[in-house]
């Protein structure tokens, strides 16, 4: 059987002017049977479309903040670094995945970006905007849990995990404010932060605010999420 190819959104270091990747993302996909490809840091649509055509699904990773102009807001002082090229390439990849009905898994920034693409908005900084009562930016090691998330009844992740509460790690300063169209909340933290969503219309689009790539070796739910993503990608690949 041909391995499932997952296109991974790149990370970018502006100080070094270089593309890079945390090995945890790649290792997590390889360990769950996928063949990951790091997408190029470019917003040239013809280049991205050709590479995306080779991919069966896409992992939208963490990284710099999503530009507030994508959800019609002015950038506040407490918003972090934004990169137009990263946003533009993410838009192209996302639109390809939606059009071709390919799987999407969002992690951290990935969840926030998906929400914006569906017409939602973000808190540019949950502390500055008074939306956080717990620590959402833990210290290392990131494989240890930081806080609890309550799973919403009848949501995708509640069925997948077969429990009502999970412990997650947490490394973010932004979060969903207004939920995007055709998204269902799957998980909420104690202070009301939306921690997980799924699409009600796309064949497979799931996104979480936490980082399963850091703790999948110690957390069976994180491993199950990654396994499910790769499995569903393989199934859709064979039906499209």
- Active-site residues, by number, are 108, 211, 213
**CB atoms inside a 10 Å sphere around CB 190:** 11
Q: In sequence order, which ranges of 132-190 are alpha helices (DSSP H)? A: 156-161
Name the nearest CA neighbour of 172 among 200, 206, 146. Answer: 146
């Amino acid at each position: 059987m041909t391995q499932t190819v997952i296109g991974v959104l790149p990370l970018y270091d502006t100080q070094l002017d270089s593309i890079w990747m945390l090995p945890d993302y790649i290792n997590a996909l390889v360990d769950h049977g996928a063949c990951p490809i790091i997408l190029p840091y470019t917003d040239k649509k013809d280049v991205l479309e050709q590479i995306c055509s080779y991919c069966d699904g896409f992992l939208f990773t963490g990284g710099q903040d999503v530009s507030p102009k994508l959800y019609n807001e002015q950038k506040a002082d407490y918003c972090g670094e934004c990169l137009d090229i990263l946003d533009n390439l993410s838009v192209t990849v996302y639109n390809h995945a939606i059009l071709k009905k390919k799987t999407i898994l969002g992690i951290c920034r990935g969840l926030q970006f998906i929400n914006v693409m569906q017409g939602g908005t973000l808190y540019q900084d949950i502390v500055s905007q008074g939306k956080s009562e717990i620590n959402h930016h833990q210290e290392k090691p990131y494989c240890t849990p930081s806080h609890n998330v309550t799973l919403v009844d009848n949501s995708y992740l509640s069925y997948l995990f077969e429990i009502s509460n999970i412990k997650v790690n947490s490394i973010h300063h932004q979060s969903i404010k207004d939920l995007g169209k055709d998204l269902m909340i799957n998980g909420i933290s104690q202070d009301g932060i939306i921690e997980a969503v799924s699409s009600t219309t796309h064949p497979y689009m799931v996104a979480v605010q936490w980082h399963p790539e850091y703790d999948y070796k110690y957390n069976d739910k994180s491993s199950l999420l990654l396994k499910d993503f790769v499995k569903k990608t393989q199934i859709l690949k064979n039906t499209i």
